[in-house]
Amino acid sequence: MVDGQQLKQRAAAEVDRRRKELIDLSLRIHANPEIAFEEHKSAAALAEFLEANGFVVESGICEISTAFRASVGSGEPRVALLAEYDALPGVGHGCGHNIIGTASCAAGIALKPVIEETGGTVLVIGTPAEEAAGGKVYMAARGAFDGLDCAMMVHPGNRNTSVAFALACLELDVEFEGKAAHAAARPEAGLNALDAMVAAFVNIGLLRQQLRDSARVHGIITDGGQAVNVIPHHTEAKLLVRSEDDEYMDEVLKPKVLGCFEGAAAATGCGLKFRWGEESRYKAMRTNRALAEAYRANVESLGRKVVEQESHRSMGSTDMGNVSTIVPAIHPSIAIAAQDVPVHTVEFREIAASEAGHQGLLDSAKVLAMTAIDVLVDSELRRRMGEEFAAGAIEIK
């Protein structure tokens, strides 16, 4: 019988043994930030690291040049570790993706000798463009996560959590078409497209009182007119609509938000054009609780205290949500910063390259490897994961 605890100790020791090269790789990615779909150097560095350590690497999967799949072993179970490595425009690695990508690769390498005893397959899947374009959304639609027993990653943050809450997120592009006229001489001859846009945003502000607390609607006007003395004939805006579950998005939010713009068009006489970005829609995160319980036990064995969020109000969105609708998945957080330091900031970026960031990197790699070992050796855990996932899929339908 395979001794899972002994395998975990060996995997953790392998991460420690590689401490210097892992930190060096993380710092190299941190020092060369690349934005969505342009992560050529970062993706190559991670893929080369895996290939040099015995993984079979496929680059450019899913018709995305900076996506990759690296695998070792064969057969089932099939455990995937997801790597992110894109940076924020203007901020760099203010979300710590240099840690995420390196940790998933390190965990995979630490698992390579393990699967010679457990059997199964370990995959490290490089997933670009989480920050801006939802790389996993496109990869999920193109089959990248089919046939897996689970998928996991660890995100650096300001607290240790095992369960992630993330909102479904959908982009809306809108335009109003009016009629230009001189704003002083003959304003009555015009149809003010800016008035329409302002009225629509006011409508949304009023709508919020009738929405769930967790719902979010926010946006910017990208074109508000060209000259102050001309009635604007054209305006444009971009919005994001977010919901704690996908059904509420479709059944309530979409029609109500669109109604805000349709009402403004009717009130001003302007024409309305709109487009929902369904092809890049982020789905709500469905954390697999059975897998999260295994993760929690492992991360606490490293001396980290896990806390659960007191409120779900503090939620963003992640394309890991799309993965979680295909396979059992987790997206926990590991603390590298104090709770008052938010991600997506210059301060967090600096921490991602500090000793605290390095410790988060090593602990992330260890806990990913340890949790993967649980999945590889524990058929009862896999059964519970599968039953929970199947029940959730039925509820969604």
Confidence of residue 180 (pLDDT cuts 50, 70, 90): very high
Residue 78 to residue 75: CA distance in whole angstroms:
7
Domains in the chain, number: 2
* 1-39 residue pLDDT tens: 678 899 999 999 999 999 999 999 999 999 999 999 999
* 128-156 residue pLDDT tens: 999 878 999 999 999 999 999 999 999 99
pLDDT at position 310, please? 56
pLDDT at position 397, please? 42
Looking at the structure, tell me whether residues 47 and 103 fall in a common domain.
yes
DSSP SS3 for 333:
strand
In angstroms, what is the C-alpha Rg of the chain?
23
The reported pTM is: 0.90
Environment class of 147 (CB within 10 Å of its CB; exposed 0-12, middle 13-18, buried 19+): exposed
Looking at the structure, tell me whether residues 235 and 295 fall in a common domain.
no
Looking at the structure, tell me whether residues 220 and 356 fall in a common domain.
no
Looking at the structure, tell me whether residues 183 and 274 fall in a common domain.
yes
Q: What is the mean pLDDT of residues 196-216?
A: 95
Looking at the structure, tell me whether residues 41 and 134 fall in a common domain.
yes
Confidence of residue 364 (pLDDT cuts 50, 70, 90): very high
* 272-288 residue pLDDT tens: 999 999 999 999 999 99
Residue 108 to residue 200: CA distance in whole angstroms:
49
Domain boundary among 221, 247, 280: 280
Looking at the structure, tell me whether residues 74 and 38 fall in a common domain.
yes
High-pLDDT (> 70) share of the chain, %: 97
Q: What is the mean pLDDT of residues 168-193?
A: 96
- Residue 316 pLDDT more than 60? yes
CA distances in angstroms from 22 to 15, 68, 97, 275, listed in the order given:
8, 19, 14, 43
pLDDT at position 2, please? 75
Q: In what order do the strands lie in the sheet with 234-243?
A: 216-223, 234-243, 168-177, 271-276
- Mean pLDDT score across all residues of the chain: 95
- Residue 189 pLDDT more than 80? yes
* 254-269 residue pLDDT tens: 999 999 999 999 999 9
pLDDT at position 92, please? 97
Looking at the structure, tell me whether residues 183 and 218 fall in a common domain.
yes
Domain containing residue 258: CATH number = 3.30.70.360
Please give the residue range of the domain that contains residue 204. Answer: 168-280
